[in-house]
Amino acid sequence: MYGLSAILSHRYKDGTEKLIAYASEKIPKEEMNRAIIDKEANAIVFGLMKFYDFVYGREIILRTDHKPLEHIFGPTKGIPLKAASRLQRWAYFLSGFRYKIEYIKSECSRNCNALSRLPVDETNIFGAEFTPVYYVNEKMNIVDWQEVVLETKRDEVLSRIVKFCILGWPNNNKDLSSEEQNYLVKKNEIAIEGNCLFWGCRVIIPESLWDWILADLHASHLGIVKIKALTRSYVWWPNIDQNIENTVKSCGICIKEQKAPPHAPLTLWPWPGKVWDRIHADFLGPLFGDMYLVVVDAYSKLSEVINFRNNTKAYRVVEVFDELFAKYGLPNLVVTDNGPQFRSDELGQFFKSNGVQHSFSPPYIQK
């Protein structure tokens, strides 16, 4: 695949199809080493952009000969959480179209394949953008970027994974070594950026750097949970969680820290007897300049979110509770924090006149 190609055709009622237009563009040399899934997805986006005026607002069928895209871009399926951010953005772009996605065997899309091998212009669709490389390079001071590039090239397993990503994975999983199998479940979520492999926004680290990174992550003896959380933002390799656990478990300082007195246990509110018996309310915001009152029924978890704009004065709170009580009935108890609106006489009077109890203590204290 040297280029992106797309074909627009029209299907008649009798099932026959007539071609309307062809399009193809060359992928620049420096972009050739992208994962195949990236290039295939790119071809779909390219086609939609090229034929935008024909397809926007109509029901269309997108055909791809790349099986994983049927799942990733399928309108009824969610895109995998860890898919490369570019795929996520493309899925978002696609969501503006009314489409069905169909998988067709490569042999059936020869005309399209021919075009992608004989493209006309250079395209810049991958273009410069905010990629995980920038993120990791900026934020991750645990490892030198160039070192990861170099070691990825030297690493036998990762070199093969890079190859699979660019040229396609073997059809038979049995052809993969046990190390390669570790990457199999993530194959549609692995991207290549700046000559490194990424799983989501996490760099896949070659084995020669594992110990070094583990030592660095563990330098402040943060304990298993925090180290794992830190790792999750930046790096990944097979069994990384297990490796972290082993490192921490064999460390005297971490073990000693672990024995610190436990936090006071959280006590749950008692389960209310019926719907709208006890409600909890709190302000949320400012979100884009507005304040919201979030009201949750403890029994059903039914929630109401009321936009207060920038006026959260007590009389507004009374108005809103008045509306809510008209809608759902009077609760037994309303729980809020100590915000000034909630402590106001106005609201106090309102609750009292309706026989509604009001509690300011967020955590329930068991006696």
Q: In the complex, which residues of this chain contact Zn ion (CB under 5 A)?
A: 221, 251, 253-254
Contact 242, 257 (CB under 8 A): no
Q: How far is the CB of 237 from Zn ion (least distance, A)?
A: 20
Q: How far is the CB of 203 from Zn ion (least distance, A)?
A: 23
Q: How far is the CB of 255 from Zn ion (least distance, A)?
A: 8
Nearer to Zn ion among residue 166 and residue 251 (C-beta): 251
Residue 142: both structure tokens together: 């645990």
Nearer to Zn ion among residue 65 and residue 245 (C-beta): 245
Nearer to Zn ion among residue 163 and residue 256 (C-beta): 256
Q: How far is the CB of 240 from Zn ion (least distance, A)?
A: 17
Q: How far is the CB of 218 from Zn ion (least distance, A)?
A: 5
Q: Is the torsion defined by CA of 27, 30, 32, 37 positive or negative?
A: negative
Nearer to Zn ion among residue 149 and residue 224 (C-beta): 224
Place of tokens 């040229």: 167
Nearer to Zn ion among residue 226 and residue 313 (C-beta): 226
Cα–Cα distance for residue pair 349/212, rounded to 1 Å:
64
**Side chain identity, residue 227:** I
Q: How far is the CB of 210 from Zn ion (least distance, A)?
A: 17
H or E element at residue 63 = strand 59-64
Distances (CA, A) of 323 to 121, 217, 326, 331, 344: 62, 53, 5, 13, 18
Nearer to Zn ion among residue 207 and residue 245 (C-beta): 245
Cα–Cα distance for residue pair 283/270, rounded to 1 Å:
23
Cα–Cα distance for residue pair 356/348, rounded to 1 Å:
9
